[in-house]
Structure 1
Amino acid sequence: MTEVLVLIDPGTATITSAPLDSPQLPVTDLSAHRGDGVFETVLVHVDPTTKEPTVVSRERHFARFHSSASALDLPEPDRRLWRQAVDTVVAETIAANPGITEFGVRYSLSRGGAAPRGWAFSVPIDESLTTARAEGVRAVSIDRGYPAYLGRSAPWLLIGAKTLSYAVNQAAIRHAKAQGVEEVLFVSHDGVVLEGPTSNIVIRRGDHLLTPDPAAGLLAGTTQRLLFDHAGRLELRADFADLSLDDVHAADGAWLVSSMRTAVTLRELDGRELSRDEALTREFQRIIAAG
């Protein structure tokens, strides 16, 4: 896939297309050495007949982007400017890749150096994602290192913000791979299931879909909310709940969900096989594809 980059200047409210394979970010940018910024990644589906794109959960993502920027005391993102940037990346990616039907767009806002800066670029769907969608994933649980609901008393930890500081998340993924599995499930220090490094967890218990409360210490999920919005159509009820590892092991189905992976079956946790509901997996994936 030919990837596309757009640079965003919040100060002048302008965007500029730029080559993705050329240097663009000065080393003095605070995102480069402090992770001081926020980002979102949206999934884009392209109708193979009409070539019309659908940006999945666009408004949910921007609302979270706005909230994350506010948590970091960054300038309020201009909805029109960021929408223009995403639309430009989408249009240029489709033009550069005839026949493409799916890709992502990642957009970021950095505190910058002298002034904030932003960018947006296209992201391919790699083979590991398509394999996970089809086959499910295995995970290990690990301690997140803090108790549930800590963010209520320590908002400076930015627990619910989607920041560019992903070193811990990446370390967790490397730990999973070192254990011979694909994913990690974070658990609070007092035993409450939280999330994956780049995903939310959803379980089915009878006719209920359950997911951890974001206030427990995790990122509110746009894909999780999309699925919950459609729960009634699936004759299911949806709610937040404090879940334990035993709850996940005893569930009638469990999924890791996010923008790019969509919904993938969690088929094994800590070496134990979990119940699988592949019919519901396909329904989840269909709902997400429809946007």
Structure 2
Amino acid sequence: MSAAPVSDSLALIDLAGAEFRLVDPRAPHLRVDDLAPHRGDGIFETVLVTRLAGADHLHARELHFSRFRASAAMLDLPAPDPTLWHAALDAVIADHRERRGDDEAFTVRYSMSRGLAEASGWVLSIPLDAKYPGQRAHGIDVITLDKGFPAYVGQSAPWMLIGAKTLSYATNQAAARWAASQGVDDVIFLSHDGRVLEGPTANVVIRRGGELLTPDPKAGLLHGTTQQTIFAHAAEAGLLCSYTDLTVDDLTAADGVWLTSSARISVPLNTLDGEELRRDPELSEQMLAWVLGG
């Protein structure tokens, strides 16, 4: 696996004081016993930033922040102040752009940790992985993995935090390493009773004729902001958009299958468990235009 891109800009957020400050991202800032690095006890969002009409645009800003608030509530963390967090986001975006001096797209990741005595937060800029454009253009090969629990487990076990975007990503990272060890690019998680869930960092979208479908978030997955953006534009374009249970057979019979996420946007699948899938290059281009257009 390639090394993580190095950040250019970082803001530390003082939640109690309702203020933030820009700091050197390469200097140490968290204690090792902070509950974020120590136990993954926190939440985050990763948001795409591109240049639109000569200005930086934070894509799906409100969708991301709404999910951030919901995650905070699920983890009993302080309700994030939108004025404070959005100001910190804008400051990091401006600082990153000034340091880079280019118009390249990048992401900002904002996080809240339970901390030690009190919660803390930060916003970090992250350059995009160089492999993403190639994946969007040429597609990827994917395998399925059983996640080990039934669909809709979150309905009976809310303490599992199904649907919260937490910092506990060890399983997701392990799945990515497993994919690489099997000679493929990514995985799609299945519930133990055979329903399609999501990828480690992406949602699954398929086309079936004039309809786009994606698994119901209540089945045990994160409600994706990019998927929601695509569905909103697709509905305006006359496509029927549905949340429903899907199986592997639905994916292999589909007219196109994509993984969607903030950083990669929409990536078509070439194969699933070694089986060739149908491709829809025209819709792939349309999805990209829908997301990048605003």
| Structures share fold, TM-score greater than 0.5 | yes
1:220-265 deviation per Cα after TM superposition (whole angstroms, max 9, x unaligned): 1110000110113333110011000000000000000000000010
Report deviation, 1:204. Answer: 0.2
Distance in 1 separating the partners of 2:273 and 2:9: 39
Distance in 2 separating the partners of 1:218 and 1:108: 19
Counterpart AA for 2:107: G
Do the aligned partners of 2:112 and 2:122 also contact (CA within 8 Å) in 1?
yes
Distance in 2 separating the partners of 1:2 and 1:33: 21
Residue equivalent to 2:3: none
Q: 2:61 aligns with which of 37, 46, 58?
A: 58
Do the aligned partners of 1:2 and 1:97 also contact (CA within 8 Å) in 2?
no
Q: 1:175 aligns with which of 158, 175, 178?
A: 178
Counterpart AA for 1:20: P
Counterpart AA for 1:187: L
Secondary structure, aligned partner of 1:215: helix
Q: 2:28 aligns with which of 23, 28, 48?
A: 23
Secondary structure, aligned partner of 1:283: helix
Report deviation, 1:134. Answer: 1.4
Q: 2:19 aligns with which of 14, 18, 23?
A: 14
Do the aligned partners of 2:12 and 2:121 also contact (CA within 8 Å) in 1?
yes
Distance in 1 separating the partners of 2:75 and 2:235: 36
Do the aligned partners of 1:159 and 1:219 also contact (CA within 8 Å) in 2?
yes
Report deviation, 1:23. Answer: 0.5
Residue equivalent to 1:206: 209
Report deviation, 1:2. Answer: 6.5
Do the aligned partners of 1:38 and 1:65 also contact (CA within 8 Å) in 2?
yes
Distance in 1 separating the partners of 2:117 and 2:154: 30
Do the aligned partners of 1:160 and 1:218 also contact (CA within 8 Å) in 2?
yes
Distance in 2 separating the partners of 1:290 and 1:7: 31
Report deviation, 1:206. Answer: 0.4
Secondary structure, aligned partner of 2:131: helix
Residue equivalent to 2:243: 240
Secondary structure, aligned partner of 1:127: coil
Distance in 1 separating the partners of 2:164 and 2:291: 23
Query: What pairs with 1:137-152 in structure 2 (closer than 5 Å)?
Result: 137-152=140-155
Query: What pairs with 1:1-291 in structure 2 (closer than 5 Å)?
Result: 3-47=8-52, 50=54, 52-291=55-294
Structure 2, gaps ≥5 residues long: 1-5
Structure 1, gaps ≥5 residues long: none
Q: TM-score, normalised by structure 1?
A: 0.97
Do the aligned partners of 2:144 and 2:190 also contact (CA within 8 Å) in 1?
yes
Report deviation, 1:53. Answer: 0.7
Counterpart AA for 2:43: V
Distance in 2 separating the partners of 1:289 and 1:75: 32
Distance in 1 separating the partners of 2:122 and 2:133: 26
Report deviation, 1:160. Answer: 0.6
Report deviation, 1:81. Answer: 0.6
Runs of 4+ deviating beyond 6 Å: none
Counterpart AA for 2:203: N
Report deviation, 1:101. Answer: 2.8
Stretch deviating more after TM superposition (232-241 or 159-168): 232-241
Report deviation, 1:97. Answer: 1.4
Count residues in correspondence: 289
Distance in 1 separating the partners of 2:268 and 2:143: 14
Q: TM-score, normalised by structure 2?
A: 0.96
Stretch deviating more after TM superposition (125-134 or 3-12): 125-134
Distance in 2 separating the partners of 1:235 and 1:254: 19
Report deviation, 1:33. Answer: 1.1
Distance in 1 separating the partners of 2:127 and 2:102: 13
